[in-house]
Amino acid sequence: MSMSKAKKARQKLAQQGRMAPDALRGSWQGVNPSLKRTPTLQEKQAKLNKKHRRNHANYSDGSFCIYKMKKSRCTAI
């Protein structure tokens, strides 16, 4: 079988004593991708509640507020 261009380039770098590209790639730094899991329903709800905690439109305690504007200075005589 023939070698790919990338493999040839890696071998050439190794023969010249240069740094191999695979050594320059980032590591997972302790994260194991096989152990990743989906969040539970409680975790999703807690995240959503924390995200929208300042949005008062989500609260429904039955109360309401009425703002009364001052009337203009027109007087009827």
2-59 pLDDT, tens per residue?
899 999 999 999 899 998 887 777 777 777 778 778 889 999 988 888 876 665 555 5
Whole-model pTM above 0.75? no
Residue among 29, 30, 31, 9 nearest 21 (CA) = 9
Residue type, 54: R
Helix (H, G, I), strand (E, B) or coil at 36: coil
The CA distances from residue 21 to 2, 4, 6, 14, 36, in Å, are 21, 15, 10, 10, 27
Residue 1 has pLDDT above 80, yes or no: no
